[in-house]
Structure 1
Amino acid sequence: MTDSEDSPPPPRKAAGKRQRLMAAAARVLHEQGVERTTIADIARAADVPAGNVYYYFKTKDDLIEAALSEHVAQLKTLTDRLDALPDPRERLKSLVAAWIGGRDMAARYGCPTGTLAVELDKRAEGGLDLAAGKAIRGLLDWVEEQYRQMGLADPEGLALTLVGAYQGMSLLSNALRDPEIMTREGARLTRWLDTLA
């Protein structure tokens, strides 16, 4: 049985392929960039026949949008896990620890959402750059809420400082191919968080 419009796959199988394509799109677009990535690259990474991709995603832009959704879902999974911690300062410090934990990937490819946002901004069409901005906005909003719960003045500015520092250390780590930049700057951010009162 093939996955065509005449004989759609069972819903569970379809959901599995769709999810594999979304995860593969997020990973491959991060590793190769938007312009160098083909639908065939994503299909290969998802172990889905290239012709079947169009059953789930009609265009490459649909796959890019799916990759952004995957990044948002991964962020939500992380922040949900961090929300289980009782103290907002510890949540922020654990966020920084998660960033440090991804240092090798950052050194090789940069921040998944940040690099995608920059790349999509260079495109003339689509509006996907705005979707990437919404993904980053989700992180900023979560960080801002942590500062608000700590009772600190200017939680929005503090959120911009923290997320901006992450984007900067990811960029530098990638540009210099040095994961230890993430380690050092992450430790600096953790110390800074301890000073806020």
Structure 2
Amino acid sequence: MTDSKKVRRGSGKRERLASAAAEVLHTQGVDRTTLADIAQAAEVPVGNVYYYFKTKDQLVEAAIDAHAQTLGDLIAALDELPTPEDRLKALLNGWVEQRELTARYGCPTGTLASELDKRADGLDRSIAAVMQVLLDWAERQFAQMGRADARELAVALIAAHQGISLLTNTFRDPDLMTTEARRLERWIDSLTQGAQQ
């Protein structure tokens, strides 16, 4: 998720609106969010929104782009780490750091994907493309660990995250995210040990 306050201070109105859209859509949902809500969060007069975005769907697209940018930045930072195991565990730790937000609102990308899946306007495919980037990245990490089943492992990792995000949100229990992340760390270690034997 983007740090919207940082984006608001240092960016143009379009970027501020896109960042605010990602944040407000996460906390309120697509159906409940208005252009005025996003304008207020971006600290932009509501009349100015229409200069950049004619419809709420365009703002949803901008929010999806903001998710993609955030993910791209995250992946770039993770790729600086020396081993695929380190990168995967750092991803898990990032999820744990967001556990309070997840407990309150769910996974930002996952909840948006779930909402958009109920629509027939193509936005569901756009958010799916963002999730595909993460899935492909995870697959590359497992492949670098020497795993022939890298795709299956990547799917299992992302599915575990989406599942625990749902449970963390449903039960409003951030500790569930922490517990699952530690289990997944042990799982990653077992895959490494299995490859070395």
Secondary structure (helix, strand or coil) at the match of 1:85 reads coil
Which runs of 5 or more residues in structure 2 are unaligned?
Answer: 1-10
The CA distance in 2 between the partners of 1:82 and 1:120, in whole Å, is: 28
Pair 1:189 & 2:184 matched: yes
Using structure 2 for the length normalisation, give the TM-score.
Answer: 0.91
Of the candidates 8, 11, 14, which is equivalent to residue 18 of structure 1? Answer: 14
1:143: how far off?
0.5
1:150: how far off?
1.1
1:61 touches 1:126 (CA, 8 Å); kept in 2? no
Pair 1:166 & 2:161 matched: yes
1:135: how far off?
0.8
Residue type of the alignment partner of 1:88: P
The CA distance in 2 between the partners of 1:109 and 1:102, in whole Å, is: 11
Secondary structure (helix, strand or coil) at the match of 1:122 reads coil
The CA distance in 2 between the partners of 1:56 and 1:138, in whole Å, is: 27
Q: Which residue of 2 aligns with 1:150?
A: 145
Q: Tell me the matched-pair count.
A: 182
The CA distance in 1 between the partners of 2:52 and 2:44, in whole Å, is: 11
Q: Which residue of 2 aligns with 1:72?
A: 68
Deviation >2 Å, runs of 4+: none
Equivalent residues in 2 for 1:46-195, closer than 5 Å: 46-123=42-119, 125-195=120-190
The CA distance in 2 between the partners of 1:20 and 1:84, in whole Å, is: 28
- The alignment-based identity, stated in percent, is 59
1:142: how far off?
0.6
Q: Which residue of 2 aligns with 1:33?
A: 29
Secondary structure (helix, strand or coil) at the match of 2:12 reads helix
Deviations 1:10-39 (A, max 9, x none): xxxxx6111100110000000000000000
The CA distance in 1 between the partners of 2:29 and 2:61, in whole Å, is: 14
* Larger Rg over CA atoms: 1
The CA distance in 2 between the partners of 1:47 and 1:161, in whole Å, is: 40
1:126: how far off?
1.5
The CA distance in 2 between the partners of 1:111 and 1:72, in whole Å, is: 14
The CA distance in 2 between the partners of 1:152 and 1:89, in whole Å, is: 12
